[in-house]
Amino acid sequence: MACKKPYSPPAVTSPGSYLVVEGVINAGSDSTIIKLSRTVSISSAITTKPESSAILTVESDQNVIYPLTETTNGVYVTVGLNLDNTRKYRLRIKTNNNNQQYLSDFVEVKATPPIDSVGFTIQNNAANTGILVYVNTHDPANNTRYYRWDYTEAWQFHAKYESNYYSTGDIIVPRLADQFTYYCFSNDISSTIILGSSAKLKQDVIYQNPVTSIESTSEKIETKYSIQIHQYALTGDAFTFWQNLKKNTEQLGSIFDAQPSQIRGNIHNINNAAEPVIGYISACTVQTKRVFISNNQLPSSWNPADPYNCQLDSELYCKGNPCQNQVALNLLPLGSSEIPVSEIPPGSHNPIGYMSASNYCTDCTLRGTKTQPAFWK
């Protein structure tokens, strides 16, 4: 046996904190949203480090300036710019840290064609069981060729058990209509880089480009699911940047994957050209489309897997000899993790106890919200 020594590669232990720029210059009527943050060490306990109190402006090649306002920590926004598509634009950033200034290259405005449709296919085989969501689009002028997508998703789910009762601290009482915690809503955003290209095709057509997949056991599709897809037209250089970033972040780990490479964007520190800056600024109009998928559109044999090991237990007013009041011990105390579900016997006006379950199995608000999204239908 040989001695072993721990090795920490310099790239992992480096204290470098580089600027990360996320977002696009929206040339249409929707808001332009730019997120600034700093890289953190892999060993750091901090996973995100927003860059706040910076000054951001969009500039045209005719020196027209559009300022952005910080709305939340590290997020900068301006309302619809409705830019002139014949001009070029760039982003200027002045950080609060040592007043460093960063500029992106001037980029042309790309007109993003509309999304033709968003659909899904059912996968029901040994390798994959679930749905694959895809997007279709085309540019009849054959001017786009390079595309990127991201999405926001929302879904309605329910707890394992529907609790019909709750504790006041003194007694168990039936829930009123607004006190039920069975149905909730949750949401998420895309976390992968989704690209498509028709550069090698005669026609600028994207057909059934995969966006995301959902397993048949996911609670996302146990009642109703919605996805809103955002489509961006890219230049060839922007597509290359995102393609390399995808390879470096999502396609590494096996001997057949691409080797890591340095990713160069189009943003630079004007005082220190050698400083790495992560990000690529594009200017384009943005197209969106939202679709809903209901559970009744899917195979009836699909059953969502509950995220918790839920089971019902009985809690009686008198159990054992000597008599022990389990209801008073386990259900009445405010803040108890055990929640009454139904009475024993069912429908009794004078119950001898209640069936109960963990709060995570009865209260959907512990991982969602009862507030229905404004777009829900």
254 band by pLDDT with thresholds 50, 70 and 90: low
CA–CA separation, 117 and 328 (whole Å):
57
Write down the pLDDT at residue 12: 59
pLDDT in tens, 325-352: 999 999 999 999 999 999 999 988 899 9
More confident residue, 6 or 180: 180
pLDDT in tens, 302-330: 998 988 999 999 999 999 989 999 999 99
Overall average pLDDT of the 81-85 stretch: 96
pTM of the model: 0.90
Sheet with 205-215, edge to edge strand ranges = 115-124, 129-138, 205-215
Cα 68 to Cα 16, 73, 98, 283, distances in angstroms: 27, 13, 20, 15
Overall average pLDDT of the 250-257 stretch: 67
Write down the pLDDT at residue 14: 60
62 band by pLDDT with thresholds 50, 70 and 90: very high
Share of the chain above pLDDT 70, in %: 94
Write down the pLDDT at residue 114: 98
CA 273 to chain centre: 33
Write down the pLDDT at residue 126: 76
Write down the pLDDT at residue 9: 66
146 band by pLDDT with thresholds 50, 70 and 90: very high
Exposure of 44 in the CB half-sphere (CA atoms within 13 A): 15
Please provide the average confidence, as pLDDT, over all residues in the chain.
Answer: 93
Cα 307 to Cα 29, 153, 217, 224, 310, distances in angstroms: 41, 19, 10, 18, 9
pLDDT in tens, 200-233: 999 999 999 999 999 999 999 999 999 999 999 9
**Taking 90 as the threshold, does the pLDDT of residue 364 lie above it?**
yes
Confirm if 89 and 83 have CB atoms less than 8 A apart: yes
Write down the pLDDT at residue 54: 97
Q: Name the residue type at position 356.
A: S
Q: Name the residue type at position 220.
A: K
More confident residue, 353 or 264: 353
Overall average pLDDT of the 101-117 stretch: 98
Write down the pLDDT at residue 313: 96
Overall average pLDDT of the 102-127 stretch: 95
CA 182 to chain centre: 23
Write down the pLDDT at residue 128: 86
Write down the pLDDT at residue 261: 62
**Taking 90 as the threshold, does the pLDDT of residue 151 lie above it?**
yes
Write down the pLDDT at residue 253: 61
Nearest Cα residue to 209 out of 138, 140, 283: 138
Q: What is the CA radius of gyration of the chain?
A: 27
Cα 54–Cα 280–Cα 278 angle in degrees, nearest 5: 65
Q: How many CB atoms lie within 10 A of CB 23?
A: 19
Write down the pLDDT at residue 1: 63
pLDDT in tens, 2-56: 787 777 666 556 667 899 999 999 999 999 999 999 998 777 777 889 999 999 9
